[in-house]
Amino acid sequence: MRKTSNVAELEAIAKQVRREIVEMITHAKSGHPGGSLSAVEIAVTLFFDVMRHDPANPKWPDRDRFILSKGHAAPVLYSVFAECGYTPKDQLNSLRKLGCMYQGHPDARFIPALEASTGSLGEGLSIGIGMALAAKLDQRPSRTYVVLGDGEIQEGQIWEAAMFGGDKGVDNLVAIVDYNHIQLDGFVNDILPLDPVADKWRAFNWHAIDLDGHSIPALQAAFAEAAQTKGRPTAIIAHTIKGKGVSFMENNPKFHGVAPTEEEMEKALAELA
Amino acid sequence: MEIRTKFELKLGMATREAFGKALVEAGRKNPDIVALDADLSKSTYTSLFAKEFPGRFVECGIAEANMIGIAAGLASGGKIPFAASFSCFAINKGFEQLRVAVAYPNVNVKVVGTHSGISIGEDGPSQMSIEDLGLACSLPNFTVLSPADEVAMHALVHASVAHAGPVFIRAGRPKAPIVHSPDQRFEMGGSVQLMDGSDLSIIGNGLLVAEAIRAAEALEAEGISARVIDMYSIKPLDRAAIQRAAAETRAIVVAEEHLVATGLGVRVAQVVAETNPCAMEFVGIQDTYAESGTPQELMEKYGLVARNVVAAARRVLSRK
Ligand SMILES: Cc1ncc(C[n+]2csc(CCOP(=O)(O)OP(=O)(O)O)c2C)c(N)n1
Ligand SMILES: [Mg+2]
């Protein structure tokens, strides 16, 4: 795979990932487009620019770790994995089919390069902190990145992990909250509001950064800032739009967990041309 | 092998939908009923209750352990809370709260776990509940119910309201064949004999009841007479019906969409061992997690369809 810091190149990859997400979920006839599309720039910036990893050597001990704690957004990770060369591209459209490695939620039994099997919300941050602690114990340079949903951080375990991570100074870990303001039943603010999100992480001794989660330069700068931050972990509050890139999915709670129809796919692909 | 039933089993609504509708009805009669959900109300159908009784609906967000604790407090305050989520999240994330805040003090909380078993399909193992009945049954004071169709679910929601004490009700995602007549009565500790037979008994719950009926009809064509029992009350169990089945047919197959190691089968086997020991076979999920696929593909791959029940029947008869 080719890594790059060039924003235009990364944006081109992001657009392609969006197209693949829409196609995969349409073919599967089920899945979660909204939260996959909101996390595209986060995943693309990490895998194609920021992270130390080698698809030819997925178990390299010094690699950086990535955990998609909001596992229902698997399609974004699958598209990125295929583009990196971890997994075959020609099977992406078999998403969710019996026997396909692209399972409904990330499943390390099918794709060993996945760092964790997720899908039950709330669990990824603790696992990531454990990986970060292991890297420290072994004095390895590995850094760990955990992507959380905004609805997901309503889970109590997230705040147990936040308290722990802040106290233990796991400065080799970054949590990214995909703050798209929508969860399954509707808008986060109608269900259980989170604000002030960044201040909550700061209160737990994290370095917190608010940014536009669709701005690749902002993400690059924040990941660099996190790497420079010593003694505490970093939480990036990525302000995003659920369904980003497809006009009729943007900010539309319906497309949390509903697949596009064939017609909707054509419309979406035209917008993402 | 395609197994066809004489009278085509009519597809009813999913038991989760039947739960949502029954809860609204119950809520109209009893103002103390409240519903709780953890960001899955559209999937569990508590959204119907929320629409009609917005003031009595508690949306907890994605926080199942907290939801169970809140339900326990509501019950102590005189309410009759129904807390719903996917079964795996309600039971697994809420288990310690179910144990210490609900079961141990015997608090009047009703927990409804939808999307049970592997018939949820494409979402895969993280959302599949295959250990919920075992976990729920391990909690003293709990009544544990697994209705097979909309008729049973409707009746058992009302029975749960009337019952003082914790109840777990298991519900499914797909539409469920209707196996009961509309006037069938259900009670805690009851069961329903759907077909009589003398060569063996097939005891099932949930979606496997319809598979048991299909299997019994296939066996009948071979001259084998099978009794079919819907054992919807996993705890307490209808010991008398099990004892009769063991004494009269001398061979039992138990079929369920759950881990065989901790589900209905082992509980039935205990009664059989204590009363009239006889040969038994078990149809269920072996010691494994499933995967993504269509519900039907998964039920076939993991051995939960009529032909698996037929095969188990042949095995048990050969050991009789
Ligand atoms: C523990 C747990 N509870 C419930 C669910 C069901 N569920 C899947 S996605 C989702 C909403 C997630 O919202 P959010 O975290 O905001 O994700 P995003 O908006 O990024 O899709 C829910 C409730 C789950 N997967 N895990
Ligand atoms: Mg969200």
Q: Is the CB of B100 under 6 A from ligand 1?
A: no
Do B42 and B171 fall into the same domain?
Answer: yes
Do B95 and B202 fall into the same domain?
Answer: no
Which one, of A65, A41, A69, lies nearest residue A149 by Cα? Answer: A69
Q: Do B62 and A121 touch (CB under 8 A)?
A: yes
Q: Do B297 and A98 touch (CB under 8 A)?
A: yes
Residue B183 located in a structural domain: no
Do B85 and B205 fall into the same domain?
Answer: no
Cα dist from B78 to B34, B57, B72, B164, whole Å = 10, 15, 10, 11
Task: Sheet with B279-285: list strands edge to edge.
Answer: B192-195, B226-230, B200-204, B251-259, B279-285
Q: What is the pLDDT of residues B148-173, one digit of tens each?
A: 999 999 999 999 999 999 999 999 99
Do B23 and B164 fall into the same domain?
Answer: yes
Check pLDDT > 90 for residue A250.
yes
CB A103, CB B124: distance < 8 Å: yes
Q: What is the pLDDT of residues B240-281, one digit of tens each?
A: 999 999 999 999 999 999 999 999 999 999 999 999 999 999
Counting ligand 1 atoms within 8 A of each CB, the residue from B36, B39, B42, B128 with the most, and so the one to mutate, is B39
The dotted CATH code for A7-271 is 3.40.50.970
Residue B3 located in a structural domain: no
Residue whose entry in the numeric block shows the structure tokens 């593909």:
B297
- Percent pLDDT > 90 in chain B is 97
Q: Is the CB of A34 under 6 A from ligand 1?
A: yes
Q: How confident is the model at residue B7 (pLDDT cuts 50, 70, 90)?
A: low
Which one, of B265, B263, B250, B127, lies nearest residue B199 by Cα? Answer: B250
DSSP B114-170: ESBBSTT-TT-GGG-BSSHHHHHHTSTT-EEE---SHHHHHHHHHHHHHS-S-EEEE
Query: Which backbone phi and psi does B13 adopt, to 5 degrees?
Result: -80, 165
Residue B186 located in a structural domain: no
Searching chain A, which residue's CA lies closest to the CA of residue B123?
Answer: A104
Query: Which backbone phi and psi does B194 adopt, to 5 degrees?
Result: -95, -30
Q: What are the structure tokens assigned to A257, written together?
A: 């967990």
| Interhelix angle A7-28/A74-84, nearest 10 degrees | 120
Rounded to two decimals, the ipTM of the complex is 0.97
Do B276 and B157 fall into the same domain?
Answer: no
Q: Measure the CA angle with vertex A250, ends A244 and A251; round to 5°.
A: 120
Q: Which helix (H) or strand (E) holds A9?
A: helix A7-28
Mutate which of B66, B87, B126 to test chain A, going by most A C-beta atoms within 10 A? Answer: B126
Rounded CA-CA distance B236/B233 in Å is 6
Residue B103 located in a structural domain: yes
Do B164 and B35 fall into the same domain?
Answer: yes
Pairing mode, strands B175-177 and B192-195: unpaired
Q: What are the structure tokens assigned to A20, written together?
A: 């693949």
Q: Do A119 and B93 touch (CB under 8 A)?
A: no
Q: Do B122 and A28 touch (CB under 8 A)?
A: yes
Q: Which residues of A touch B122 (CB under 8 A)?
A: 28, 30-31, 96, 104
Residue B89 located in a structural domain: yes
Q: Which residues of A touch B123 (CB under 8 A)?
A: 30, 104-105, 119
**In this predicted structure, what is the pLDDT of residue B137?**
98
Residue B290 located in a structural domain: yes
Query: Which backbone phi and psi does B235 adopt, to 5 degrees?
Result: -155, 115
Helices (H), chain B: 15-29, 41-44, 46-52, 64-76, 87-88, 95-97, 132-137, 150-162, 208-221, 239-249, 264-274, 295-301, 306-318
Q: What is the pLDDT of residues B162-219, one digit of tens each?
A: 999 999 999 999 999 999 999 999 999 999 999 999 999 999 999 999 999 999 999 9
**In this predicted structure, what is the pLDDT of residue B1?**
46
Whether residue B86 lies within 8 A of chain A, CB to CB, comes out as no
Mark which of B156, B178, B200 sits at the end of a domain: B178
Residue B184 located in a structural domain: no
Do B86 and B162 fall into the same domain?
Answer: yes
Q: What are the structure tokens assigned to A49, written together?
A: 């620019």
Structural domain count, chain B: 2
> Where is pLDDT greater, at B249 or B3?
B249
Mark which of B151, B178, B205 sits at the end of a domain: B178
Q: How confident is the model at residue A1 (pLDDT cuts 50, 70, 90)?
A: confident
Pairing mode, strands B33-37 and B226-230: unpaired
Whether residue A100 lies within 8 A of chain B, CB to CB, comes out as yes
Q: What is the pLDDT of residues A28-61, one digit of tens each?
A: 999 999 999 999 999 999 999 999 999 999 999 9
Question: Given B17, B64, B211, B256, which residue is catalytic?
Answer: B64
Q: What is the CATH number of the domain that holds B52?
A: 3.40.50.970
Rounded CA-CA distance B44/B49 in Å is 11
Do B210 and B156 fall into the same domain?
Answer: no
User: Position B52: which residue type?
Assistant: E
Cα dist from B71 to A49, A128, B34, B62, B139, whole Å = 47, 31, 9, 15, 17
Q: What is the CATH number of the domain that holds B215?
A: 3.40.50.920
Whether residue A122 lies within 8 A of chain B, CB to CB, comes out as yes
Mark which of B130, B149, B178 sits at the end of a domain: B178
Which one, of A2, A3, A35, lies nearest residue A183 by Cα? Answer: A35
Check pLDDT > 80 for residue B133.
yes
Q: What pTM was computed for the model?
A: 0.97
**In this predicted structure, what is the pLDDT of residue B3?**
55
Rounded CA-CA distance B305/A270 in Å is 44
Rounded CA-CA distance A179/A237 in Å is 6
Q: What is the mean pLDDT of residues B122-135?
A: 98
Q: What are the structure tokens assigned to A270, written together?
A: 């035209």
Full residue range of the structural domain in which residue B50 is found: 10-178
Q: What is the residue extent of each domain of chain A?
A: 7-271
